[in-house]
Structure 1
């Protein structure tokens, strides 16, 4: 599948993930980031369009109709309010669509937290990654960590099933899946900064965010996995600079 066809299919349905699309995402970092960004934009537009209709809307329309010769004309005040509501929705959607840089086909992501972004990645890519075992080496890990100007000071203490780069919000991340103490754990290393260690629980998973200099280490595992303990262990292995 060429790049134009990939982007056309993703933009026509941001949620579809058939075998061809998954293969294109797996083998091309730019495709992976594009798919993530379009998915984020689609979610923002859906949220912006989700406007609740007032329960008394019908009564208000009837009340604002004149019983005189102008009985078929809606009162100006109601028209103004309706147009204001429509304009507000159009304005929000316009802002979201305007975030797309069509020249480079890059989308500014939603202002989601690191935890939300990490959970979304895990949920979307889990079906594709679940059956992979690339038996990743330390040399490969250090090569992928190079753009983030960090490296492992010692051997990685867990078996690594999957390793790649991925789009992560408005940045990129190292994306790794390894064997934890009870199950598989997903690791992200991104240049998006964080201020303090933060634990989180979402979608039946638990995670932790740990700042490492100007980068953030994020781990996500099943509930019951001591991701805080694992994070502390891995953080001590990560050193600044490249080998």
Structure 2
């Protein structure tokens, strides 16, 4: 090992002693003195770095930072803001082609209604699949009585299942009937809807419609025309108060 390599390795790590370093130190007094000098210098630097930090230092730094002239602070803030905006734009660009914007634009309250409705349908799909209670319109109106609404005409679809169910912090009328392409689930709940919202989740399509201070939710399979069914049913729902 030549002298230049020896000095480079000692400077990069004063405490390192492999076989080559030990041989170089043993073979040369100048190498030994140099290694000892660098080791002492490293110890002094470490000692100088061990300074007790006053408890009030953080407060003083914050105060000093806040007192800096706006001409200095503002450019730094603007750089950070622009960097953040660029990052957001980059992520937005990556995701833009993958997001279902129809779902993203559903207001939070309606999104919650949609998620609860879809969750109900998925969780009870196996249970109601083989049920056919052949429910009558009279039975439907009897179940609607606690909600103070009723259908003023015969329900226009074959009904397989009818019950009440828990729906978030409220209760709901739960009806499963035959749509145009498959089974459709209807929920009538005390949870209000601000306006009509269509949604698509987990391979299902749905619509939320306000009924007074309540919500009518229809959930069907992909391709089911739930809007058409809603247009058919809504004029038939009347207040029973």
Instruction: Report the TM-score, using the length of structure 2 for normalisation.
Output: 0.54
What is the aligned partner in structure 2 of residue 196 from structure 1?
A: 195
Post-superposition CA distance 1:49-90 (Å, at most 9, x none): xxxxxxxxxxxxxxxxxx9xxxxxxxxxxxxxxxxxxxxxxx
Q: Structure 1 residue 163 and structure 2 residue 162: aligned?
A: yes
Cα separation, 1, equivalents of 2:231 and 2:168: 24
Structure 1 alignment gaps of length 5 or more = 1-66, 68-110
What is the aligned partner in structure 2 of residue 49 from structure 1?
A: none
What is the aligned partner in structure 2 of residue 231 from structure 1?
A: 230
Cα separation, 1, equivalents of 2:230 and 2:118: 16
> Which gives a bigger RCO, structure 1 or 2 (Cα 8 Å, sep 6+)?
1
What is the aligned partner in structure 1 of residue 218 from structure 2?
A: 219
Cα separation, 2, equivalents of 1:170 and 1:141: 23
What is the aligned partner in structure 1 of residue 151 from structure 2?
A: 152
Cα separation, 2, equivalents of 1:125 and 1:187: 13
Q: Note the C-alpha offset of 1:182.
A: 0.8
SS for the counterpart of 1:181 is coil
SS for the counterpart of 2:156 is coil
Cα separation, 2, equivalents of 1:144 and 1:215: 15
What is the aligned partner in structure 2 of residue 37 from structure 1?
A: none
Post-superposition CA distance 1:83-107 (Å, at most 9, x none): xxxxxxxxxxxxxxxxxxxxxxxxx
What is the aligned partner in structure 1 of residue 119 from structure 2?
A: 120
Structure 2 alignment gaps of length 5 or more = 1-45, 47-108
Instruction: Report the TM-score, using the length of structure 1 for normalisation.
Output: 0.53
SS for the counterpart of 1:211 is strand
Post-superposition CA distance 1:122-146 (Å, at most 9, x none): 0000000000000000110001000
After superposition, residues 173-192 of structure 1 pair within 5 angstroms as 173-192=172-191
Q: Note the C-alpha offset of 1:227.
A: 0.2
Q: How many residues are matched?
A: 134
What is the aligned partner in structure 2 of residue 134 from structure 1?
A: 133
Q: Note the C-alpha offset of 1:150.
A: 0.1
After superposition, residues 73-152 of structure 1 pair within 5 angstroms as 113-152=112-151
Q: Note the C-alpha offset of 1:235.
A: 0.9
Cα separation, 2, equivalents of 1:238 and 1:135: 21
Higher-Rg structure is: 2
Cα separation, 2, equivalents of 1:195 and 1:153: 24
Q: Note the C-alpha offset of 1:232.
A: 1.4
**More helix per residue:** 2
After superposition, residues 53-64 of structure 1 pair within 5 angstroms as none
What is the aligned partner in structure 1 of residue 22 from structure 2?
A: none
What is the aligned partner in structure 1 of residue 5 from structure 2?
A: none
What is the aligned partner in structure 1 of residue 89 from structure 2?
A: none
SS for the counterpart of 2:227 is helix
